[in-house]
Amino acid sequence: MVNRTAIRVLLIEDDPEDIELLQRYLRDDARHEYAIGTAERLEEGLARLDSFKADVLLLDISLPDSHGISTFHKAFSRAPDVPIVLLTGMEDEKLALEAVKSGAQDYLNKREVSSRVISRAISYAIWRKKAEDLLKREALHREFIANASHELRTPIAAIKASAETLGRSLTAPNPDRELVRIIESQAERLRGLVEYLLDLSMLESGQRPALPESISLQAFLPEFVAGFGLLAKKKKVKIDWKAPPGFKVWIDRSHLDRILQNLVDNAIKFSPAGGEIHIEGKPSGEVGLISVRDSGVGMPKDQIPLLFQEFADKAARRTKGRGTGLGLLLVKGLLGANGGRIEAASSPGKGMTFTFTVPLGR
Ligand SMILES: Nc1ncnc2c1ncn2[C@@H]1O[C@H](COP(=O)(O)OP(=O)(O)OP(=O)(O)O)[C@@H](O)[C@H]1O
Ligand SMILES: [Mg+2]
């Protein structure tokens, strides 16, 4: 299909023959239309940048007023948002590669150019620049979330501590006690949210990579389950576990702990008194499978996919709990960092099963 929106090419090149040739190649390209601007000197070209509104810069690196890699650096610092394709001679190929490492999108050897080659280089350069910008924006976004979460920790801790102190000083019939209790519990909820956000952004940015090790579930689970003793007793639920001897998984120990903490915490939260929770580990082909099954309220099948979706409808993700609604997202992120995946199954009223895969231990 012919694209009728002209691509605006600013060609900075001093050799009249090359200018003529490149213009002809662009005219011969049947797939795109080009609006071409030319300049023979770097300064002249850079001065035209804004008014010309170039979609792409074709830049000869040897110009009357600039030579070598500094030609690229000057253009890049003046036009960081415009994709740049360098035009080189045989002898500058090393320089051009260096420029590509510093942010140029591509380079073309002028002696090897054809209509097809130049057309493709221009399209790729434009798309590559868009993709690079998107990645850069995502990284900035993650960094912003990490910084903001970090900054929020201190004031939230101060609110919590002040509310606790205030709460202790108010004695029984004082009606303000309820208000202070609300401040305290909401500050705690806020703290949980901020911790999840911080953890998720650390995981996504790779700042806190997984350090996997071989873990025997027969050794890990008894202590893990014992840690829930008090809560299970209070909620009158039973937790048991089973895993074959010698079954090992390859995962970061603190991540395994947090994944299971979140799943068992949910299972307890959504189970009635007298409920049962089963944790089971077993090998399945090339991977290990670990499941947490409860006999609680469950959830409708059509809502299950939303559980692991970022920014999914909050109503679907947090119908019954009083938590942050981010626990399962963190679980998914932690598993991703360890080469695992999670699935959920449920029949309403009959409970829920979360099953995740992890690489086998050695
Ligand atoms: N075992 C379960 N049985 C029934 N519903 C569940 C179960 N586990 C999760 N859910 C549903 O999925 C929602 C999201 O769970 P998730 O762990 O992400 O957040 P949360 O438990 O609400 O908050 P937090 O984990 O911060 O305490 C829950 O609010 C609940 O509606
Ligand atoms: Mg939870």
Q: Which residue owns the Cα nearest ligand 1 atom 4?
A: 298
- Which ligand places an atom closest to the C-alpha of 331? 1
Compute, in angstroms, the gap from residue 305 CA to the centroid of ligand 2.
16
CB 183 within 8 A of CB 163: yes
Q: What is the DSSP letter of 237?
A: -
DSSP line for 177-233 = HHHHHHHHHHHHHHHHHHHHHHHHHHHHHTSS----EEEEHHHHHHHHHHTTHHHHH
Separation between Cα atoms, residue 334 and residue 257, nearest integer Å: 10
CA 262 to centroid of ligand 1, rounded, Å: 9
Interval between CA 203 and ligand 2 midpoint (Å): 18
Ligand 1 centroid to residue 190 C-alpha, Å: 17
Ligand lying nearest the CA atom of residue 354: 1
Nearest protein CA to atom 8 of ligand 1, as residue: 266
CATH of domain 3-113: 3.40.50.2300
163 vs 139: which has the higher pLDDT: 163
What pLDDT is recorded for position 317? Answer: 53
354: helix, coil or strand? Answer: strand
φ, ψ at 336 (rounded to 5°)? -55, -40
Closest CA to 53 of 10, 105, 11: 10
Every domain range in the chain assigned CATH 3.40.50.2300: 3-113
Please give the Cα distance from 60 to 40 (Å, whole number). 9
How much is the average pLDDT of 170-189?
91
How sure is the predictor about 164, in pLDDT bands with cuts at 50, 70 and 90? very high
- The percent of residues above 70 in pLDDT, for the chain, comes to 96
DSSP-H helix ranges across 41-114: 42-52, 69-78, 93-101
CA 328 to ligand 1: nearest atom: 18
* Nearest residue by C-alpha to atom 27 in ligand 1: 323
Please tell me the predicted confidence (pLDDT) of residue 1.
45
Task: Return the half-sphere exposure (C-beta side, CA atoms, 13 A cut-off) of residue 333.
Answer: 22
For residue 86, what pLDDT is reported? 95
**DSSP, res 350:** S
Cα 252 to Cα 113, 293, 350, distances in angstroms: 51, 22, 32
Q: What's the whole-number mean pLDDT along residues 194-209?
A: 85
Q: What digits encode the pLDDT tens for the residues 63-96?
A: 999 998 999 999 999 999 999 999 998 778 888 8
Q: Regarding beta strands 56-60 and 341-346, do their DSSP bridges make them parallel or antiparallel, or are they unpaired?
A: unpaired
Where in the chain do CATH 1.10.287 domains reside? 136-205
Least confident of 13-22, 255-264, 286-295, 347-356: 347-356
When pLDDT is averaged across residues 220-238 and rounded to a whole number, the result is 96
pLDDT at 29: 93
* Three-class secondary structure of residue 320 per DSSP: coil
Strands (E), 157-286: 213-216, 238-242, 248-251, 276-284
CA-proximal residue: ligand 1, atom 7 (nearest): 266
Residue nearest to atom 1 of ligand 1 (CA): 267
> What topology does CATH give the domain 136-205?
Helix Hairpins (1.10.287)
Domain with CATH 3.30.565.10 in the chain: 213-359
Where do we find the tokens 């626990």?
327
Whole-angstrom distance between the N-terminal and C-terminal Cα of the chain?
55
Contact 352, 344 (CB under 8 A): yes
CATH homologous superfamily of 213-359 equals Histidine kinase-like ATPase, C-terminal domain (3.30.565.10)
Confidence of residue 200 (pLDDT cuts 50, 70, 90): confident
Nearest of 225, 241, 259, 252 to residue 330 by alpha carbon: 259
**Residues lining ligand 1, Cβ inside 6 A:** 192, 262, 266-267, 270, 294, 296-299, 307, 317-321, 323-328, 352
Atom from ligand 1 closest to the CA of residue 322 = 22
Instruction: Report pLDDT for 142.
Output: 85
Residue 24 scores a pLDDT above 80:
yes
Mutate which of 228, 258, 266, 356 for ligand 1? The one with the most ligand atoms within 8 Å of its CB, which is 266
Q: Is 298 helix (H, G, I), strand (E, B) or coil?
A: coil
Q: pLDDT at residue 314 above 60?
A: no
What distance in Å separates the CA atoms of residue 235 and residue 229, rounded to the nearest whole number?
Answer: 10
Yes or no: say if 73 and 27 are a contact pair by the CB < 8 Å rule.
no
**Overall residue count recorded for the chain in this entry:** 362
Whether pLDDT at 193 is above 60: yes
Do residues 326 and 196 lie in contact, with contact meaning Cβ atoms separated by under 8 Å? yes
User: Please, which pLDDT band fits residue 319 given cuts at 50, 70 and 90?
Assistant: very low
pLDDT in tens, 239-271: 999 999 999 999 999 999 999 999 999 999 999
Q: Residue 289 pLDDT more than 80?
A: yes
